[in-house]
Structure 1
Amino acid sequence: MDRGRLTVFLGMAPGVGKTFAMLDEAHRRVSRGADVVVGIVETHDRPRTAALLEGLEVVPRRVVGHRGAEFGEMDTDAILARRPAVVLVDELAHTNVPGSLRAKRHEDVDVLRNAGIDVVTTLNIQHLESLNEVVQDITGVQQRETVPDAVVRAADQVQLVDMSPEGLRRRLAHGNVYRAEQIDASLASFFRPGNLIALRELALLWLADRVDTALDDYRRTQGIDQTWPTRERVVVAVTGGPESETLLRRAGRIAQRGAGGELVAVHVVRGDGLTGPAADLAGLKRLVDDLGGTFHTVVGEDVPTSVIEFARGVNATLVVVGVSSHPRWWRVFRQTTASDLARLSGAIDVHLVTHEQAGGAGGLRVPRSTLGATRTRTGWVLALLLPVLLTWLFHGGHSPDDFPLEVLAFLAATVLVALVGGLVPALVAAVVGFGLLNWFFTTPVGRFTISEPTNVVALAVFLAVATGVASVVDIAARRASEAGRARAEATTLSGLAQSVLTGSDTAQAVVDRLREAFGLTAVALLRRTPSGWDLVSAAGDVPDDADSPDGPDATTVAVDATHVLRLHGRTLHSSDMRVVEAFALQAGLVLEYRRLRDREARAAVLERAEETSTALLRAVSHDLRTPLATMRTSVDGLVAGEALSEDDRTSLLTSIRSATDQLVHLIDNLLDLSRISSGLVEPRLTDVSLEEVLPVAVAGHPSDRLVLDLDEATPFVRTDPGLLERVVANLADNAVRHSPPDRPVRVGVHLHADTIEVRVVDRGPGVPSATRGRMFEPFQRLGDASPGGLGLGLAVARGLASSMGASVAAEDTPGGGLTLVVSVPRASSDPLEQEVGRG
């Protein structure tokens, strides 16, 4: 069975006419003979929209009950049973009422499409998941109902329902969108002109991006390689050298000439993994971001081929490249990158940009040595001494037959110089050796002329071999150095990647590792605020001006739009900036993880609060209503009963008093729980005797229901007497309620070295160990069906105890039942003992 097609009518805001356009499309399809039904459409009491429902078959909604109310949701099962060709489903991002088969409406749509039914739906741009935070930043309104971007991107057709912001505000002002009492507030908040302009731009850009993606998909599936210049897309090839900024700025100006122009920068990395010449890619990426473009890195052996393949892949219309910086003599022997690009480009135009480095100097540019100053100086010394020393050794006993041996000796000396000092000293040694061999060892001796042709060949071969070997040795040394640097970078980046994947890094760990990896004196992570810069994390000797990204000896690396890394100490080589950029990326990920964790924590708090509110409402609906009902009934009886006997009147008054006490107790528990949750409980700790607290706490229970065992010699405790009294009273009430009438509750004291335990022992049914962990949570009745309780007593007891440094735990009572233990800190010194000592 073919999957049903999805058509989305996309709008920038409510009221632009998405539902109207969807219903109009439905009438057109019906007129063509299509089987169309309305799954669910929200008219929002708009007459013109409601009128379009006439003539369309509407599937009745399924009624779902939630929190005592009834809601109408789309009946997906009824639509599947009806099996129309097309179904209209309004508001794709809608969240279904709890109790529905699926949580989101787009999940119902997916079920319908899997059954082969075409779906036509509507969506506002602010409900896309990827744009949710952007819309919140613009409008200040958080959209709680979102739909994943992948759902909309997978749609077969997306139609934009558009109108000007001024037209939408007029429509709103005329009462065509909201009721009269909502118009002024809407125009002054969400429907402000700036908000609508921004939302309209978001909708247009998102749809343009999807159209561009669809075009790329079509070209790829159809195997179309040639460029389709639907819009100006400029690819600029950068090497990372000093000319790259000139190329990027020039390419940026070219891209901005036409509407919709796009700048794409590409840097080609060698396929062997070696870095090649040092490139300030981090700085170039920042410049590309400032120009509104994107930066890409590709791997390839041949630069022109890689650039053209990339340009064709992104459907580029123009490639911008700099004029060759090689000297003129270089271009005699081989083609430049620009000429190769022009030869390979085909339909893509190639634009050459001149720069200060174009053409280079007339002579040979000596590459920078990677061997270090000591080895280079040693190489120069050997380049000058070894040829002279060999000349001195061989000149005394020279014979023409020894010439091949002398040539090999000089060649070995040149190789040794190359191994020690690199290419340039080796070339000097080869030239000096060539001259010395010619002057002292080839006939005629003492002249630079050569009489024997074989000697000419030998000297030429010597010079060529010496030069070639020196070049190979120098290149190998460079590659080894680059490979070592690449290996170090890979090791560092691997550690970074591992820490990101495991989520074990913190912002402090990032700055510590960055300082250690590059030997810096200090590293600071700064955050931009409306009033300036704040220091987030720092490592090392941070200067006094660390709260600013600028400084005389500081290097600044951007992390994201609001964070930067400030580096102090040695000046980093441009090749090190790749790793620094990776550290900056990880710092951004760490900050993002922190933000997500904070959001998750806030969401968890809100979820717990919602659960608490739900439980409270559920409990209040019964437990608070019961005493109120009792009081009202008794009061009505007193008011209406003129012939009531004295006993009846006393009974009613007793009922009122009992219900009032019950209600006061419940409200006190609710207030205590609120104070505990808000952190407003401020205990006043003092040294007090349990003889002053426990008798008051259990005074409300008769002696046949509760027995207090308390020794007069019990040491003092450090506590808040009033809070401890509430704790013990709640535990005692709970124990008496669950203990059998013939088995009284016992409240006793047990002494320890640092604490004194108040133990409340009952002989009731006890609490299974599996559910014991929940018994101290709010609104947990755990099977307690007795009236007059919200399940707050134990939660309030533990909260109050914790606030004053005590603890509450539960144990099994030997022989059956539950023992609740309050551990209270002992006083540092017994006041009675102090009185005796003073006496």
Structure 2
Amino acid sequence: MTQPVVPAPAGSPHGRPGRLKVFLGAAPGVGKTYRMLDEARRRAARGTDVVVGYVECHKRPRTEEMLDGLETVPRAERDYRGTAFTEMDLDAVLARAPQVALVDEMAHTNVPGGRHTKRWQDIEVLLKAGIDVITAVNIQHLESLNDVVEKITGVPQRETVPDEVVRRADQIELVDMPAEALRRRMAHGNVYAPEKVDAALSNYFRVGNLTALRELALLWVAGRVDEALQKYRSEHGIGRVWETRERVVVAVTGGPEGATLIRRAARIAARSAGGDLLAVHIVRSDGLADTSPAALAKQRALVESLGGTFHSVVGDHVPDALLDFARAESATQLVMGTSRRGRLAQFLTGRGVGETIVERSGDIDVHMVTHERAGRGRLLPVPSSSLPLARKVAGPVAGFVLPVLLTAVLANTRGHLNLTSEALLFLLTVVGVACIGGVASALLASVTASLLLNYYFIPPIGRFTIGETNNVLALAVFALVAATVATIVDRSLRLSRRAANATAEAETLSSLAGSILRGDQAVEALLHRTREAFGMESAELVHRSDGGAATVDDPAEGGVAVPVGPDDVLVLRGRRLAASERRVLIAFAGHVASALERARLAEAAAEVEPVRAADRMRTALLAAVSHDLRTPLAGAWAAVSSLRSREVEFSAEDQQELLATAEESLDRLNRLVDNLLDMSRLQAGALSLVLEPSSVAEVASLALDSLGDSHVPVTTQGLDAIPDALADPPLLERVIANLVTNAQRHAPEGTAVLLSASALGPRIELRVADRGPGLRPADRERVFEPFQRLGDTDNTTGLGLGLALSRGLTEAMGGTLTPEDTPGGGLTMVLSLPTADGPADVPAAPVGGEESLT
């Protein structure tokens, strides 16, 4: 149970929070602790008050020598489950109040009984008390990289530290070492004890693992350095680009030229090692856009396939938004497409986005890329109208009729209203017409209202002349206000409709795309959601083989058909879809195509794999049974036939030899049949288990006794020093016997098989190692398949069920069986089983940081 953090002593002796320095390594053994101690000695030589709060040397002589001359705070002793452990005495370090404290293994889990669960929490208390801390941690212990490291190395990391804790460090120093150099250091005994070296080199410390971890460490530190650089530039107001590395930003609009621009930008980024590719799409702040979601989705996929990242930035002024993004990302180059506007449109509308950005880009290089759509846009912008036909007709009619009707009403009530009120009523009529028929109808109503207002209500009445100058100004203002208000009202209505459509499209796409993540029948779920979303009578996938038209409408029944692949069409029947709905449907068709392809691949794999497995099993079984069962049967038959023969007189010694041959052959036949029966029980799930605490030493002794004499001896190590395993004793005996027999079969003359045991947290490990030819990496899983006899050429080694049966029995008991390379040549089979009394959540405290990796 985690105890509450005790506040740091009031009044820090140094008047400020402590500073944290972290030595970050890619793997154990690179020299973090040595560098940390070297740093401490140099500071102490300069007169700094330095103490060692906790340093773990792992019995490395050169590291222990670095402790000489440094003051060490005595550790606190704690008892855990009957075993004594030592931890950093946090209270003693706080009471000592040094300027600098050395605290090793930042991610370490403390033994229960202290203030905190984790050592990094102890470090934070020291920092709050104003004590500078120097610590060390490996890249695999960072929380964000925990799953990545496990995928690379196959070793889960139970001890982690939040990335933010390390990021807050004032200094992070990378301790780097090439993989080959670290392996040499390991082989020389400078990292682990000699008995652990071979296992470490063949597992966690493989060249590939170390190279990958080294790259992770370098990239993580590079990101931290980049963050520090950005912070420095921001604090000092530095806006110009520092070309520390190439960052290429490509502006995409979702237009047909997007793929050309992205590929061009990718080529530019590829010319510089470590260059970044960033694609950016500027979205209006009102959320309204005419861009096709399907086109943007394709361009996003293209950018990600080329190793880049895709970004959406909100901004109403495209040049400002694009340049702000490029400068924020420290872009060195900006790629844009030349304008699609025609010459007349460019002349009438002035400078475009490209010209503005080139003028204002400053120290960012701008590439204007030509494409096939350049200059092929419309000569003039063509306003689009989404009004239905009835309103298109009613608008102009209302623009003429309503002002006339208002004039008739006001003429009959002349004298009750003044000119200002009459003008406002005409203005209200113009606004109403704008709501009905849009800005064109409103302009017609404005002109009509102006003429009627002049003729009937502005003196001299009955004439289109105006007697007073003020009335001329009033009429002009009326016409201007009417046109302005009508334009604003029409634009607001159009934006409101577009906003509603955009919201509906986003909700529809989100809902439909989310269906992919729910349920096992993704295609059926997508079809159901499609039918519901578009209010159709039916939605189905139709297979076509004639390569029909891309989009086919059925005017007789209503509906639409959209292709979702080369041979399939998504057919919706019911009503006819509007253009905006078709755009959403086409964008979603890509999701249906992906789901359909995944479903087909999964179905094909499910159909083929059982057939292939059965065929392999049948072929192997026939080949094995035809020889391996016949061989011992033939030996026993020959011995018995000889004994029954009356033609030959056998001596007593010969008879005993023939009887021994028959017995040996029948025993061998019995073992083969037992293996076949046990394998069939495993595959059928009918094997009964009785798990109980089992002495590994006793079970191993029985297994070795059952093997009899062999030309290859077996050496045991550590069997009596491990706790009891939770296992079925007869099955465990069978597994150990099979593994030792397999090792003896491949061990060269003059060598021995090593059977060793060790405890690792809540599990025990048995290792059966030989010095034979070993296994190729490609064969490490094949060797556990039934009827596989890899490396056996004499056809006298049985059915090839021994290792397959051993893994099956081991997994049935909750264990694992994995092959490893024996250092120096050979194969090691590692049998891991849970201990009889070890809980699954035993803390990792008793196993110190780096040591737990072996």
- Secondary structure of 1:321's counterpart equals strand
Tell me which of 129, 132, 148 is aligned to 1:134.
148
The Cα shift of 1:153 comes to: 0.5
CA contact (8 A) 2:25 2:175 kept: yes
Q: 1:252 to 1:470 in 2, by over 3 A?
A: farther
CA contact (8 A) 1:303 1:337 kept: yes
Tell me which of 146, 154, 157 is aligned to 2:160.
146
Between the aligned partners of 1:581 and 1:39, the Cα distance in structure 2 is: 62
Identity of aligned residues (%): 51
The residue that corresponds to 1:181 in the other structure is 195
CA contact (8 A) 2:509 2:588 kept: no
The residue that corresponds to 1:164 in the other structure is 178
Between the aligned partners of 1:143 and 1:45, the Cα distance in structure 2 is: 23
2:370 pairs with 1:366: no
The Cα shift of 1:266 comes to: 2.1
The Cα shift of 1:470 comes to: 9.3
State the AA in 1 paired with 2:164. A
- Secondary structure of 1:519's counterpart equals helix
The residue that corresponds to 2:109 in the other structure is 95
Q: 1:365 to 1:332 in 2, by over 3 A?
A: closer
Q: 1:351 to 1:187 in 2, by over 3 A?
A: same
Deviations 1:170-197 (A, max 9, x none): 2222222222222222222111211111
CA contact (8 A) 1:320 1:353 kept: yes
Deviations 1:447-478 (A, max 9, x none): xxxxxxxxxxxxxx9x9999999977764553
- Secondary structure of 2:234's counterpart equals helix
State the AA in 2 paired with 1:304. P
The residue that corresponds to 1:247 in the other structure is 261
The Cα shift of 1:338 comes to: 1.0
Give the TM-score normalised by structure 1. 0.53
The Cα shift of 1:140 comes to: 1.0
Between the aligned partners of 2:369 and 2:257, the Cα distance in structure 1 is: 10
Matches within 5 A, 1:13-52: 13-52=27-66
Deviations 1:97-117 (A, max 9, x none): 122221001011111111111
Between the aligned partners of 1:556 and 1:190, the Cα distance in structure 2 is: 46
Between the aligned partners of 2:562 and 2:308, the Cα distance in structure 1 is: 27
Tell me which of 276, 294, 302 is aligned to 1:287.
302
Q: 1:248 to 1:186 in 2, by over 3 A?
A: same
Deviations 1:57-91 (A, max 9, x none): 12121111000000111111111111111111111
Between the aligned partners of 2:371 and 2:24, the Cα distance in structure 1 is: 47
Q: 1:544 to 1:136 in 2, by over 3 A?
A: farther
Q: 1:466 to 1:254 in 2, by over 3 A?
A: farther
The residue that corresponds to 2:325 in the other structure is 310
Q: 1:266 to 1:418 in 2, by over 3 A?
A: same
2:504 pairs with 1:488: yes
2:550 pairs with 1:519: no
Q: 1:58 to 1:473 in 2, by over 3 A?
A: closer
Q: 1:37 to 1:234 in 2, by over 3 A?
A: same
The residue that corresponds to 2:139 in the other structure is 125
Between the aligned partners of 2:330 and 2:203, the Cα distance in structure 1 is: 42
CA contact (8 A) 1:510 1:583 kept: no
2:238 pairs with 1:224: yes
CA contact (8 A) 2:110 2:116 kept: yes
Structure 2 unaligned segments of length 5 or more: list them. Answer: 1-11, 401-426, 449-476, 545-549, 552-560, 596-691, 695-726, 729-854
Between the aligned partners of 1:186 and 1:112, the Cα distance in structure 2 is: 35
CA contact (8 A) 1:282 1:581 kept: no
The residue that corresponds to 2:347 in the other structure is 331
2:337 pairs with 1:322: yes
Q: 1:5 to 1:576 in 2, by over 3 A?
A: farther
Deviations 1:511-541 (A, max 9, x none): 898656643799xxxxxxxxxxxxxxxx976
Deviations 1:554-607 (A, max 9, x none): 8889xxxxxxxx9885999686489969999xx9xxxxxxxxxxxxxxxxxxxx
CA contact (8 A) 1:376 1:422 kept: no
Q: 1:469 to 1:363 in 2, by over 3 A?
A: farther
Between the aligned partners of 1:324 and 1:468, the Cα distance in structure 2 is: 31
Between the aligned partners of 2:140 and 2:585, the Cα distance in structure 1 is: 38
Matches within 5 A, 1:386-535: 475-476=491-492, 478-488=494-504, 507=519, 518-519=530-531
Between the aligned partners of 1:366 and 1:332, the Cα distance in structure 2 is: 13
State the AA in 1 paired with 2:254. G
Question: How many residue pairs were aligned?
Answer: 527
Between the aligned partners of 2:121 and 2:588, the Cα distance in structure 1 is: 44
2:226 pairs with 1:212: yes
Q: 1:347 to 1:573 in 2, by over 3 A?
A: farther
Between the aligned partners of 1:33 and 1:577, the Cα distance in structure 2 is: 74
Q: 1:506 to 1:517 in 2, by over 3 A?
A: closer
The Cα shift of 1:12 comes to: 0.8
2:292 pairs with 1:276: no
Matches within 5 A, 1:785-804: none
Q: 1:507 to 1:325 in 2, by over 3 A?
A: same
Matches within 5 A, 1:429-828: 475-476=491-492, 478-488=494-504, 507=519, 518-519=530-531, 576=584
Between the aligned partners of 1:544 and 1:521, the Cα distance in structure 2 is: 23
Q: 1:234 to 1:306 in 2, by over 3 A?
A: same
CA contact (8 A) 2:431 2:442 kept: yes
- Secondary structure of 2:107's counterpart equals coil
- Tell me whether 45-54 or 353-362 shows the greater mean CA deviation: 353-362
CA contact (8 A) 1:379 1:418 kept: no
Q: 1:141 to 1:554 in 2, by over 3 A?
A: farther
- Secondary structure of 1:235's counterpart equals strand
Give the TM-score normalised by structure 2. 0.52
CA contact (8 A) 2:562 2:586 kept: no
CA contact (8 A) 2:187 2:197 kept: yes
The Cα shift of 1:542 comes to: 7.0
Structure 1 unaligned segments of length 5 or more: list them. Answer: 388-410, 434-460, 523-538, 546-550, 558-565, 588-615, 621-669, 672-839
Between the aligned partners of 1:470 and 1:508, the Cα distance in structure 2 is: 54
Between the aligned partners of 1:303 and 1:574, the Cα distance in structure 2 is: 28
Between the aligned partners of 2:261 and 2:393, the Cα distance in structure 1 is: 39
Between the aligned partners of 2:170 and 2:571, the Cα distance in structure 1 is: 54
CA contact (8 A) 1:87 1:120 kept: yes
Between the aligned partners of 1:176 and 1:304, the Cα distance in structure 2 is: 59
- Secondary structure of 1:338's counterpart equals helix
Q: 1:543 to 1:74 in 2, by over 3 A?
A: farther
Between the aligned partners of 2:500 and 2:263, the Cα distance in structure 1 is: 34
The residue that corresponds to 2:250 in the other structure is 236
Tell me which of 349, 352, 360 is aligned to 1:344.
360
Between the aligned partners of 1:491 and 1:275, the Cα distance in structure 2 is: 14
State the AA in 1 paired with 2:292. A
Report 1 or 2 for greater relative contact order, CA contacts < 8 Å, sequence distance ≥ 6: 2
Q: 1:354 to 1:241 in 2, by over 3 A?
A: same
Between the aligned partners of 2:35 and 2:150, the Cα distance in structure 1 is: 27
Q: 1:177 to 1:556 in 2, by over 3 A?
A: farther
Between the aligned partners of 2:142 and 2:89, the Cα distance in structure 1 is: 24
CA contact (8 A) 2:52 2:70 kept: yes
CA contact (8 A) 1:239 1:279 kept: no
Between the aligned partners of 1:112 and 1:555, the Cα distance in structure 2 is: 65
CA contact (8 A) 2:563 2:589 kept: no
Between the aligned partners of 2:585 and 2:246, the Cα distance in structure 1 is: 32
CA contact (8 A) 1:279 1:574 kept: no
Between the aligned partners of 1:45 and 1:195, the Cα distance in structure 2 is: 25
CA contact (8 A) 1:370 1:481 kept: no
CA contact (8 A) 1:380 1:425 kept: no
The Cα shift of 1:213 comes to: 0.7
